[in-house]
Chain A
Amino acid sequence: MKCNYCEWRCDLTNGNGICGRYKCENDKVVECEPFNWIDFYPYTVESMPFYHVMPNEYVIQTGTVSCNAHCSYCINSHLAIEENSARKLKHKSAESLVALCKQMDCKGVVFAINEITCFIPSAIEVAKRLHAEGLKVGCLTNGFETEETAHLLADNMDFINVSLKSLSDEFYKKDLGLSSVQPVLRNIKIFNDKTHLEIVTPLVHEVVENEIYDIMDFIYGVNPEIVWHLFRLMPNNERADERDMTHEEMLKIYETARQKLPYTYLGNFAGSQWVDTYCPDCGELIIKRICTGAWLGGTVFNNLVDGQCPKCGKKISGVF
């Protein structure tokens, strides 16, 4: 019996597959612990990060454990990668998760702690319940889903953030433990066609040196209005061996990328001044944001009028 949620297509006849979160039951693939979550954190949607989604609103961030990848600089490795038998998940049904959103005046849920591929059925059920109540839902993913899962997600998520770390299979094998980047590139196109898409690319030096502009061109080819987050990594905790890239190097990438992809941002560090949205047509500063610490942030002001530039009327892509 095969699991078809991601491209590993694990055989679950004798075990739980690579992520360890699915099993075979009555000839069906089911989650080992459906509706069991690591915890619930109210955060601004900017902190996920989603920059073109409901500025300054709070969402409940949740997730489970494990991952189908093994990234060398995973900031959630304590959940995604390390085994910890003492960790206990909390059960919360889709209904009560929706109720929590309402009680706390949150506009929805974002599955952002670990890889959504590890709990697809629960996530889809929560998404349906949220939509029935007029709330929104989004997720972060590494994009290694199968084509059918990608469609399922694209049809049920209001916004998706894909982490695109490189264009090279070699890099994906070595740094993520995934067999190829091709499914990720395919799924990016599926997501772009069907839902709001943002992409995160961590600025790892070998990517910066070899292919950062190729990644830019790939995104441009899919859709120049995709939101692209360039992520500054803190060498001290995420990749101990990472060379400290200079700020000027990162700024140059940001400035270059903005010529083609107007919604490019350079963030993931406190105080970043490169996280604001300007109108691609008239240059008006439309949304001003603040990065308060590492990944945390919010919106200082949002001048959009019905999702449009207040000066020239250009429609800004996103969920506004």
Chain B
Amino acid sequence: MYEIMLDVNGWQGLFDFQTGEALPFENKPYLELAKEVSKRHPYPGDLNPSVFAWTTDFALDVVKEYNPQLMLISYANAMITRVNSKLTTVETKDLERLVLSEAFRFAEEADYEPIIVSTGNMKKIDLVVNTDDIEGYFNVSTDPYVGGIFGATAKDYETVQNMNGIKSYMTKNEFIKTYHLYDEYALERTPDIILFADDNFALTNTGNRGTTLEEISEKKKTFKAFSKLSGLPNDIFEFRSFIDSQLKSGKRIAVIVVEGVDDESMPDGSIDVNKESDGIYYSEGVLFYYALLNAKKFNVVGMPYIFHNPFIKKKPGARYSFSYIKTDEFQDPIGFNRDFKTASVGTRSGIFHSACMCDYSFECHCRGLAESGVLTFVNGKNFENE
């Protein structure tokens, strides 16, 4: 049994991970830990500066109670704050310093070998492709330089041939062929037309409920990683095997993702890591976490696709209601059914637990800055014989 536990400011509910159906708590001792730890750390909110300390304190509490060999932590709120607020350079620097000091506080207070990775540079949004003439439903992807049109009209196929700021486009069929998509889940999420922006242009729509973006990720092929462990790889797709080999040698590993920390602010001694493959930038969100933790490219079977087609959930039997994006086949997530203990704590809502599926995966539950407390994925199967 895989379960989702929600803690909404004190109220706790248990749900089936796949169907979303409510479950009784019954006497499952392994849930006590999730209940207690969540209760001790009510979520302060995505833009609340205390969210960084919340993440560290939560993670330290999980270490104290569960003591996993693999600990995953994501500090997403510097990125979230930079995306959503107008910040001065000084404020941005302060934010970056705060995240890193929290990451090191965790590393110092808990006994782990930390691997600290950023997601790459961010920049103020500048030129945005004008998509007003598109008649279909225009939606951005995880990558701010790629967008798509669902329900494209005949006129849309003409419009995209001559759009300022668009480098190239592909039809659904061309895209499927180029990237060898065959998974049904990915296919149905592929837009009719895929747009690729020029490097200095961004593709954005106003976000959920009309919010506008202040910053986006820079179009750059590398991000930074820092660790005292030797042999840190310089390609995002090699991290998984590196982490696995360290774990195999008995080391206690903490992978700490610090989103929204620019390259120049990363600790001295950080190395450059490539995040580009076949023209796709694994810069953020689903793409980044699956690439880093599971060595998965976007086009493999069962991989959540980079576009979110909001209409998919309409289908009967929609699953993973609390998980944003998830397929039925678990693609060897880093924390799933290992022969050692795993746990995660993070503020990358919806994505982090799906990508790692640790024994206990804790995260804030947010949709477009509206918070609904703490969500925990629990791999009950792990505890069945206890």
Interface residues of A (CB under 8 A from B): 38-44, 56, 58, 63, 65, 75-76, 78-79, 84, 86-87, 90-91, 96, 99-100, 103-105, 113, 232, 234-237, 244, 246-247, 269-271, 273, 290, 292-296, 298, 300
Known: A100-B135, A270-B8, A270-B373. A63 touches B210 (CB 8 A): yes
Report the separation of the CA atoms of residues A236 and B46 in the bound assembly, to the nearest whole angstrom.
Answer: 9
Least Cβ–Cβ distance between A178 and chain B, in angstroms: 22
Mask, B344-372, CB within 8 Å of A = 1, is: 00000000000000000000011111111
Report the separation of the CA atoms of residues A135 and B322 in the bound assembly, to the nearest whole angstrom.
Answer: 30
Write 8 A-B pairs (CB below 8 A) sorted by A numbering.
A78-B209, A236-B45, A237-B47, A270-B6, A271-B15, A271-B22, A292-B20, A292-B367
Given A39-B205, A113-B209, A269-B372: 16 more A-B contacts, CB < 8 Å:
A38-B206, A41-B208, A41-B209, A42-B310, A76-B209, A78-B209, A234-B9, A236-B371, A237-B47, A244-B9, A247-B8, A269-B11, A270-B8, A290-B321, A298-B321, A300-B20
> Is B375 located at the chain interface by the 8 A CB criterion?
yes
Whether the pair A87, B372 counts as a contact (CB closer than 8 A) is: no
Whether the pair B212, A84 counts as a contact (CB closer than 8 A) is: yes
Whether the pair A58, B209 counts as a contact (CB closer than 8 A) is: no
Most B C-beta atoms less than 10 A away, residue of A40, A43, A235, A290? A290
Report the separation of the CA atoms of residues A238 and B11 in the bound assembly, to the nearest whole angstrom.
Answer: 18
Residues from chain B with Cβ under 8 Å of A103 in the complex: 135-137, 151, 153
Residues from chain B with Cβ under 8 Å of A44 in the complex: 313-314
Whether the pair B370, A244 counts as a contact (CB closer than 8 A) is: no
- Closest chain B residue, CB of each to CB of A273: B22
Residues from chain B with Cβ under 8 Å of A86 in the complex: 212
> Is B52 located at the chain interface by the 8 A CB criterion?
no
Least Cβ–Cβ distance between A118 and chain B, in angstroms: 13
Mask, B183-201, CB within 8 Å of A = 1, is: 0000000000000000000
Whether the pair A104, B150 counts as a contact (CB closer than 8 A) is: yes
Report the separation of the CA atoms of residues A113 and B207 in the bound assembly, to the nearest whole angstrom.
Answer: 12
- Closest chain A residue, CB of each to CB of B150: A104
The 4 closest A-B pairs by CB, nearest first: A294-B370, A236-B45, A103-B151, A270-B372
Residues from chain B with Cβ under 8 Å of A65 in the complex: 210
* Interface of chain A: mostly helix, strand, loop or mixed: loop
Partner of A244, one of B10, B47, B137: B10
Whether the pair B375, A270 counts as a contact (CB closer than 8 A) is: yes
Known: A113-B209, A113-B210. A293 touches B135 (CB 8 A): no
Interface residues of B (CB under 8 A from A): 6, 8-11, 13, 15, 20, 22, 43-48, 132, 135-137, 150-151, 153, 205-206, 208-212, 310-311, 313-314, 318, 321-322, 365-373, 375
Partner of B210, one of A58, A79, A273, A294: A79
Known: A84-B212, A103-B153. A293 touches B365 (CB 8 A): yes
Partner of B48, one of A96, A236, A294: A236
Whether the pair B367, A235 counts as a contact (CB closer than 8 A) is: no
Known: A42-B310, A76-B209, A273-B13. A96 touches B135 (CB 8 A): yes
Whether the pair A246, B20 counts as a contact (CB closer than 8 A) is: no
Least Cβ–Cβ distance between A108 and chain B, in angstroms: 15
- Closest chain B residue, CB of each to CB of A60: B137
Partner of B20, one of A56, A78, A290, A294: A290
Whether the pair B137, A42 counts as a contact (CB closer than 8 A) is: yes
Whether the pair B132, A90 counts as a contact (CB closer than 8 A) is: yes
Whether the pair B206, A91 counts as a contact (CB closer than 8 A) is: no
Known: A269-B8, A270-B373. A105 touches B208 (CB 8 A): no
Report the separation of the CA atoms of residues A239 and B324 in the bound assembly, to the nearest whole angstrom.
Answer: 26
Report the separation of the CA atoms of residues A271 and B371 in the bound assembly, to the nearest whole angstrom.
Answer: 13
Whether the pair B322, A40 counts as a contact (CB closer than 8 A) is: no
Least Cβ–Cβ distance between B188 and chain A, in angstroms: 13
- Closest chain A residue, CB of each to CB of B43: A236
Least Cβ–Cβ distance between A75 and chain B, in angstroms: 7
Report the separation of the CA atoms of residues A232 and B20 in the bound assembly, to the nearest whole angstrom.
Answer: 20
Report the separation of the CA atoms of residues A237 and B15 in the bound assembly, to the nearest whole angstrom.
Answer: 25
Whether the pair B8, A298 counts as a contact (CB closer than 8 A) is: no
